[in-house]
A and B are shown apart, each in its own frame.
Chain A
Amino acid sequence: MTVLPPTLSGAVYDRGYRPYQGPRGGRREATVALWRLSVRRALGLRRSWRQKVFPWSLLAITTVPAIVNVGIGYAIKDNPFEMSGFEFITYHEYVGVSTALLVFVALTAPDVVCPDRSQRVLPLLFSRPLTGIDYVVAKVGAIAFIVFGFGFVPHVVLFVGQMLVSDGALDYVTDNAEVLWQVPLAVAVLALYYAVVGVALASLTDRRIVGGVAILGVTLVTSAVAAIVAEAAGGDGSPLAILNILSLPLLVRDLIFFGHIDVQSDLSGVAGGGILAVGAYLVVLLSGLAVLIHRYREVDL
């Protein structure tokens, strides 16, 4: 028998179990972790390339108008004809480029909440230091954050681009100083609204496809109903225009930019239209939150 010298005989190491003695967070850290994971999921990060295509394509699509606007501005910058102040799209209008964002919400909101229920992950999540409200905050916060980002980044591109192609960058900033608060506020109003409505509707079902269809269906149906009502009103504004729940954040946007409802809106001309719009916006927002809190108030193990 060959006897190995002690140095060559080898050894089996039992790595055993190492207790964790580092820092531990509580509810806040758990909520932030869930928010971060939901953002990652919605953006397709740490997932296959197929999951990444849609969100990043969307960001590209929403940025196209800004790039076109800046490009045209640059092309005509030295034009002998007086075309200063050319705007292919205004900041106010740009906040309203919301269809792409709505489609994004219809696809991602169900994706961040439905599997938790259908795959019965919720009991595990709630065995961590999380409450139902924390869960809602994390999920709505994740979608709102991304919608805000995708709504806001194109504005930054537009603003910086316009500033650079303008005759005087400082003058451009001074002339458009108000959009520095109007745009983020209006985009935040839109993002929060879409996130709450989207996640609330998605929370009512276990199936992603059903959730997505529900989000698009509700917005399209209410838009159609509101359009019919407006048509029946004969071109005059009608308070029933608030039935179009897709338009409510855009009405609030009008108030942020102009201080009144846009004249092109179906609610234009209605007495107290601004208050009506804000009230309807808040009612929908709070109803969505109530649905969410109810859905995640208690989870069965």
Chain B
Amino acid sequence: MQLTPRPPMLRAADLTMSYAAGATALAGLTVDVPAGSVGLVGANGAGKTTLFRLMLGLMQPTSGWIEVTGRNVAADPVGIRSRLGYMPEHDCLPLDQTASDVVSTFGELAGLPTRAARQRASDVLDLVGLDEARFRPVGGFSTGMRQRTKLAQALVADPQLVLLDEPTAGLDPVGREEMLELVGRLAGFGISVILATHLLDDVQRVCEHVVMIDAGRLVLAGPIDQLMQTTGVMRVEVGGSADAVARLAGALAERGLSARAADTHNVDIETTARGEDSFDIVRDTVADLGLRLYSLSTRHRSLDDLFLQETRR
């Protein structure tokens, strides 16, 4: 079966946003974000919120253009929001209203007829696990329940794309698991997700793609699986003598491989220069030195490693 390629959810070209005070939040950002679940990663002040504001048409970029769900935001900055859901990081719910009223209200504000909004509110509150609490005032909810109510209001109008800003912020481990499980299911419903966070574990858990920005510039973007495979580092655990690690590193250097001791038992070896041959060279070198080979594996970097590596360049 041939899958039809999904159009990009977000396309930006040379997107720059400078504020009147002189600060530049985005500096020539060019990125294509595919449909699906995407992590938007960056430190505080990296430009994540500014990018959300531009996507929602809440302000005009200083230069460049931005397209969301295949539509130019500048052409219809208000109408674009009818197919977007947004979940802010901070508390944003009217505390004296019931969850049902809050969610149906935001359904109506997204353009749904009243009856449809109430029905959809019931459905999405069921989906996020608040079906039994939906007639209780939000003011009495726990942090986890409020987060789920916020997610429900973002989903009520069946958006093409939801923008989630730190959805696991302030949640305990159980609440975090539940929220990530919910977010992970959205792509299966045909709803694309852009998850802005600084918790890279969350992105690694639920996203297929990642976009890393720093100081308003694109640092890295791509499928997470691919990015994790391109570490180019092999880790070898050896034993057999007290100076096994040092001897191996020295011998590998003589055979053209860059190696360094990671700790008292492990050597990290750059494999990019020699490719697949590196494994044979390491195996033969260990045998020639009479060392014990405990493990040999390609080292998978975490997103944290990638982010640190790319932002320190």
Contacts and interface: CB of A to CB of B under 8 A. Distances in A.
Decide whether A and B assemble into one complex: yes
A127 B106 CA distance: 10
A37 B56 contact: no
Given A17-B127, A24-B112, A128 B79 contact: no
B90 interface: yes
Interface in A101-120: 115-116, 119-120
Contacts of A125: 109
Given A17-B127, A18-B123, A301-B88, A129 B111 contact: yes
Interface string A1-27: 000000000000001111110111111
Contacts of B157: 20, 24
A119 B92 contact: yes
Contacts of A299: 58
Contact of A26 (B94, B111, B113, B116): B111
Interface in A269-301: 298-299, 301
Interface stretch (A28-36, A140-148, A246-254): A28-36
A301 B90 CA distance: 9
A131 interface: yes
Contacts of B101: 46
A240 interface: no
A115 B79 CA distance: 26
B94 A30 contact: no
B84 A127 contact: yes
Given A119-B91, A126-B58, A301-B49, A19 B158 contact: yes
Given A121-B94, A298-B59, A29 B111 contact: yes
Contacts of B108: 29-30, 33, 36-37
A8 B196 CA distance: 47
Given A24-B82, A30-B109, A124 B88 contact: yes
Contact of A301 (B52, B78, B95, B123): B52
Nearest to B78: A129
B65 interface: no
B53 interface: yes
Nearest to A47: B96
A163 interface: no
Interface in A43-89: 46-47
A17 B59 contact: no
A25 B107 CA distance: 11
A127 B86 contact: yes
Nearest to B186: A17
A130 interface: yes
A27 B88 contact: no
B106 A128 contact: yes
B168 interface: no
Interface in B117-154: 120, 123, 126-127, 153
Interface in A227-273: none
Given A15-B126, A46-B101, A23 B109 contact: no
Contacts of B116: 20, 22-23
Interface in B187-244: 189-190
A298 B190 CA distance: 32
A299 to B, nearest CB: 7
Report which residue of A20, A125, A130 has the largest number of chain B beta carbons within 10 angstroms of its beta carbon: A20
8 contacts: A19-B189, A30-B109, A30-B111, A124-B92, A126-B58, A127-B86, A130-B78, A131-B78
Given A19-B190, A24-B112, A46-B101, 5 more contacts: A16-B189, A20-B112, A124-B106, A128-B82, A298-B59
Interface of B: 49, 52-53, 56, 58-59, 78-79, 81-82, 84-86, 88, 90-96, 101, 105-106, 108-114, 116, 120, 123, 126-127, 153, 157-158, 165, 185, 189-190
